[in-house]
A and B are shown apart, each in its own frame.
Chain A
Amino acid sequence: MEPGQREEEEEEEEEDQQQLTLIQNLKATLHYTVGSMCQEAADAQGVRFTKPAIAAISEVTFQQCEHFAKDLEMFARHAKRSTVNMEDVKLLARRSGSLLNYITEKSEEISRVNQEQKDKKKKKAEGGNKKSSKQAVTEMDIDD
């Protein structure tokens, strides 16, 4: 065994360790969120979740996320994009009508908020750039 090889192996082990820690962090975060959501549902419905049930739900969610990620990547690549956008997400939820309706509503909401933000930015920009826009107008007049 050469020293170079050993170093490589150690590096690989470190990388694996890092990956594992990352996954565990993600799972812990997910578990916490699922726990809070289950608590909310429990308060609303008047039922109780056992701890294994919550753990199972979070595990299923984790697996499902993997699935979703792969599908979204496929859809984006299918449309010759490398960025996942709203259309891909809609395509993912196409199978169930109610979910599609919900997601469409949400996307419209998001786009509306984005539009408002853009308008605000534009207004600010207009406020700041009034002089420059006036200059531009005068320049255009000159061009005409």
Chain B
Amino acid sequence: LNNYCKVFSFYAKTPMEKSASETLMKCLNQYFRTLCDDLETFAHHAGRKTVLLADLELLMRRQGLVTDDISLYVLVERYLPLEYRRLLIPCAASGNAVFPAG
């Protein structure tokens, strides 16, 4: 939770009160609940029982985060640290192989 508070105050560019963090906690709870529900629905819609990256991308598109001129990879580049970026964005590795294969 402390981490979330730090992130929140970093983007808001203002310090946070204690009471605000409790409200933030409630909001995050609700957010993750709807997120999981949505992802489940999208995966089920595509006839799968596994949530894939495509489901997440569709969800972010619905939320208006991913648009035609801002792709998911742009968002990953912008907001995630390097080690996560390397896991998500395909790049040509040695031996003429692309990693990850997706």
Which residues of chain A have a CB within 8 Å of any CB of chain B?
71, 74-75, 78-80, 87-88, 91, 94
Cα A75 to Cα B41 in complex, Å, equals: 11
Chain A residues with Cβ under 8 A from B55's Cβ?
78
B20 to chain A: closest CB distance in Å?
Answer: 27
User: Do B46 and A71 have beta carbons less than 8 Å apart?
Assistant: no
- Within 8 Å CB of A80, what residues of B? 46
A118 to B54, CA, bound (A): 37
Interface size on B, residues (CB 8 A): 10
Contact at A87–B45, with CB atoms within 8 Å?
A: yes
Asked if A78 and B62 sit within 8 Å, CB to CB, the answer is no
* Sample of 17 A–B contacts (CB below 8 Å): A71-B62, A74-B62, A75-B45, A75-B58, A78-B42, A78-B45, A78-B46, A78-B54, A78-B55, A79-B45, A79-B46, A79-B47, A87-B45, A88-B45, A91-B41, A91-B42, A91-B45
In the complex formed, the residue of B with least CB distance to A90 is: B45
Query: Within the complex, what minimum Cβ distance (angstroms) separates A83 from chain B?
Result: 14
